[in-house]
Structure 1
Amino acid sequence: MIARCRLLMVLFLALAIPRGTHAAEKVIADFGGLSGFQSASWVAKDLKLFEKYGLDADLVMITGGARSVAALLGGSTQFATGSGTAPLIASARGSDVTILAASYNKFPYAFVAKPDIRSPKELRGKRIGILNFGGSNDIALQLALKEWGIKQQEVNVIVGGDAPTRFLSLTVGRVDATILSPPHLTRAVQAGYRVLADMGEMRAKFSQSTLYVRRGYLRENREIVKRFVKAYSEAVHAIKTDRERTLKVFAKRMRLDDAEILNATYDYYAPRFSFPPRVDMAGIKDTLDFYAERNPEVKNRNPLDFVDQTILDELEKEGFFKALGR
């Protein structure tokens, strides 16, 4: 009798569970930092969009594209985000990496200088601080100098660390100019420093925030990847359209309690996000052209070799992006 009661209880519980219920799929994704252009993943996390699409996503901060790619290839993460440079170079050298999407296809920087420097031409002979050589800071600087007709040897490029460190170096006179994005850009303007150029308005394109995976993982786990891209895409849509909720996430993640800086940060980034988050192939080409001078393996390569937007194509065909806009 007891055994029969237990069996009936098990059957009752089994029938009571809604059909289609299953445990959320566990995945690990990285993000490169806490600047606004890097926010798609952590907005998706904080707005519970991964959960909405059946994913239990853990986010880990990994700074630097090379480390991000290494973690992805080593299996520590399943999804990676960052500028297009690292996955492009890794893929060109034979690694199993492909770019799926891009939430931010512009340089998110402004060129900031001491108040007595009034135009880009006055940068000749000056010290310019960047994060590191070979990264998006460096590419932005080189392309800006090219547009301004300034040769690299006419300026002194200094590796100056992250944005807070570079801003400090500017204030104490270690550098004459640097590249900043909000909120540090807003603080620099408040302090009286001069914005020489908004690098997002330059002719050159750049995939600043991309989503990339191993090709093998995409092939073997396509449905999981599709769910992740849905959450990522909806986060981009939220950033562009839901100011109130996005500001709360920005305030929490960036630890901003100054309303003026918080709102200026949102106003700078939100309109520049790409929705749907398609990769601007012109940005991939410009990046490949830049690196071709130093890395022969990327010379004359087709940008399409490095990008797989078939998930985005499927979502477009299914009306996913239109549905988010209703």
Structure 2
Amino acid sequence: MNVGYSAISADQLPAWVAKDSGMFEKNGLDAQLIFFTGGSTAILALVSGDVPITQVAGPGLVSSALAGSDAVFVAAGITSLNYVLMGKPGLTKPEQLKGGSVAISRFGSATDSIARFALKAIGLTPGKDVTLVQVGSGPSRLDAALTGKVSAAVINPPSSYIAERRGLTVVVDIAKMGLVFQHTGVATTRRFIKEHPDIVRKYVKAHMEAVHRIWTDKEAGVRALAKYMGRGVDRDILEKSWQGILTES
């Protein structure tokens, strides 16, 4: 069974740990993880039947449901924001964003919704004052900001911690702006629940066991982050990202 995840960030830990620490196998699931660049892409794969279950944030699922799909959450996961808007080298103030561009993953994704919310909150109009640019994963958005291809990027841990170390400045701390937000959770379709209730129950059980492992086994979380984030991420950043997840869940 293919299972989607929609970001290269610490928010995806439940699926990563469930796969690598054996929770899927323990619950009788042969799950293969498939990466999608953004929640809107993951939702398209879900409703088209390419994957029966995916990890995704609220905006993509809600937009899909409002458009008539039967996508639905079965487990919440992360229920708070951990995003920041970080400027390219030399960009340190919100007003400097006017006339510039902001990197998001995909239109219709969580980063798209978050960018629009943040820009409006600081008095800028997306599409008029600031251009939103589809770039892809968190590491790709970070690279776009570091190289000056965009004025700023919407990113979260570990990419935001790496950005701070590389000298980038937090222009807007979105996590402190009071937005009530359903972040990463487990989504499927009502049709799949009806046709395969046993698989959905097994998946939710594996997900819950993975969340418990994340809370109680630091090394399991750090190992998964190191594997899926790729080489070159320092141990202290991985540990900080794991610790951050415990405060966001």
Q: Which TM bucket (shorter chain)?
A: 0.7 to 0.9
Residue 90 of structure 1 aligns with which residue?
Answer: 64
- Asked if 1:261 is matched to 2:237, the reply is yes
Q: CA deviation at 1:270?
A: 3.1
Counterpart-to-counterpart distance in 2, 1:46 and 1:209: 19
Contact preservation (8 Å) 2:37, 2:137: no
Of 186, 189, 212, the match for 2:161: 186
Shift of 1:214: 1.7
Aligned to 1:53: 27
Unpaired stretches in structure 2, ≥5 consecutive residues: none
CA contact (8 A) 2:7 2:137 kept: no
Residues 229-255 of structure 1: per-residue CA shift (max 9 Å, x gap): 011122122223321221112112222
TM-aligned CA deviation for residue 176 of structure 1: 2.3
- How many aligned residue pairs are there? 247
2:197 counterpart of 1:227: no
- Contact 1:29/1:80 (8 A) holds in 2: yes
| Deviation, structure 1 residue 189 | 0.8
CA distance in structure 2 between the aligned counterparts of 1:248 and 1:110, rounded to whole angstroms: 25
Q: Please report the TM-score for the alignment, with normalisation by the length of structure 2.
A: 0.86
CA contact (8 A) 1:108 1:208 kept: no
TM-score (norm 1): 0.68
Give the aligned partner of residue 308 of structure 1: none
Which residue, 133, 136, 147 being the options, matches 1:172?
A: 147
For the pair 1:215 / 2:200, whether they are aligned, the reply is no
Q: For 2:18 and 2:113, how far apart are their aligned partners in 1?
A: 28
User: RCO greater where, 1 or 2, for CA within 8 Å and sep 6 or more?
Assistant: 2
**C-alpha distance in 2 between matches for 1:171 and 1:73:** 35
Q: Pick closer, same or farther for the CA change 1:162–1:212 going to 2, 3 Å.
A: closer
Deviation at 1:111, TM superposition (A): 1.1
One of 161, 167, 171 as aligned partner of 1:196: 171
Counterparts of 1:161 and 1:66, CA distance in 2: 11
2:7 paired with 1:37: no
Cα separation, 2, equivalents of 1:220 and 1:199 = 40
User: How much does 1:187 deviate?
Assistant: 1.9
Write the distance in 2 (CA, Å) between the matches of 1:252 and 1:265: 14
Partner of 2:248: 272
In structure 1, the residue matched to 2:114 is 140
- Report the structure number with the largest CA radius of gyration: 1
> Which residue number in structure 1 is paired with residue 181 of structure 2?
206
Aligned 8 A contact 1:37 1:108 in 2 = no
Alignment root-mean-square deviation, CA: 2.3
CA 1:156–1:217 in structure 2 vs 1: closer, same or farther (change >3 Å)?
Answer: closer
Selected match of 2:99 from 125, 133, 140: 125
Measured in 2, the distance between the counterparts of 1:48 and 1:58 equals 12
Query: Aligned partners of 1:240, 1:120: CA distance in 2, in Å?
Result: 36
Q: CA deviation at 1:115?
A: 5.4
Q: Which residue number in structure 2 is paired with residue 103 of structure 1?
A: 77
Q: Structure 1 vs Structure 2: percent identity of aligned residues?
A: 31
